[in-house]
Amino acid sequence: MLAAEAAFDALCKDRSSDLLEAYEPSVRSSWIDKELRMVRNAQPAVAHFGGLLGTLYAGFDIWLGQLGIRLPWTLKHKADNTTLRRKSEAKKIDYPKPDGVLTFDRLTSVFLSNTNHEEDQPVHLTLKDATVPVDVNLALYDGPEQRYCPAGVYEFVEEPNGKPRLQINAQNCVHCKTCDIKDPTQNINWVTPEGGGGPNYPNM
């Protein structure tokens, strides 16, 4: 509503270059800012200190905020891609195979999402450096893109010469943008595909 009011006010005054300059001050002076500031440390506290201590800290911080006492610091989130451990530091997980009743394989789930992209459009998932997936991600992290993607978009295939290569099955993409967030080297470039393609979720 505040954005709409700022846009309406700007259009009425025939100001197009600074269309929403009034939006931020109106948010800062509204109840939205007060409520967001009160809970700003809640999730970062759990991420930093764990479930028990983090929840206790967050509850204490919010309680003080309700009394009008604001702590002078704000906890910061770590970028998700910086928290990935190297394969030498992690134990390999033996995941059970999908049973087809409660758990399903990724391609079946992609099919149920009714995901579709036009075949003749430019691929919306590209790499900044094509050597990074094998030389860095696979070598140091055991290719996390083949696990964190819920749709099987990324898979390492073996070339005729026996060397691995990252294959991107962009048609499967369900637009969760996990790869854009979690890729340890931020090497994947995710852009919006043409024509409104993507998941449809017809049964939701």
CATH number at residue 165: 3.30.70.20
Token pair of 65 as six digits: 């905020």
Whether residue 79 lies inside any domain: the answer is: no
The confidence score (pLDDT) of residue 15 equals: 59
54 and 94 in a common domain: no
93 and 13 in a common domain: no
In our burial notation (b when 16+ CB lie closer than 10 A, e otherwise), range 75-114 reads beeeeeeeebeeeeeeeeeeeeeeeeeeeeeeeebbeebe
Sign of the torsion angle spanned by Cα atoms 73, 75, 76, 78: positive
* Whether pLDDT at 17 is above 80: no
141 and 97 in a common domain: yes
State the total domains in the chain: 2
Whether residue 71 lies inside any domain: the answer is: no
pTM of the model: 0.68
185 and 102 in a common domain: yes
92 and 141 in a common domain: yes
Whether residue 171 lies inside any domain: the answer is: yes
Whether residue 177 lies inside any domain: the answer is: yes
Among all chains, which residue has been given the structure tokens 């691929």? Answer: 123
Domain that holds residue 139: 87-196
Whether residue 203 lies inside any domain: the answer is: no
100 and 24 in a common domain: no
The confidence score (pLDDT) of residue 159 equals: 92
Among all chains, which residue has been given the structure tokens 């990074």? Answer: 132
Q: Confidence class of residue 114 from pLDDT cuts 50, 70 and 90?
A: confident
Q: Average the pLDDT over each of 14-28, 35-49, 81-95, 168-182 and give the range with the smallest value.
A: 14-28
pLDDT tens-place string over residues 142-151: 999 999 999 9
189 and 102 in a common domain: yes
pLDDT winner (highest mean) among 16-20, 58-62, 108-112? 58-62
Whether residue 52 lies inside any domain: the answer is: yes
101 and 153 in a common domain: yes
150 and 53 in a common domain: no
Contacts of 199 (CB under 8 A, 6+ apart): 113, 114, 115, 174, 175
The confidence score (pLDDT) of residue 79 equals: 85
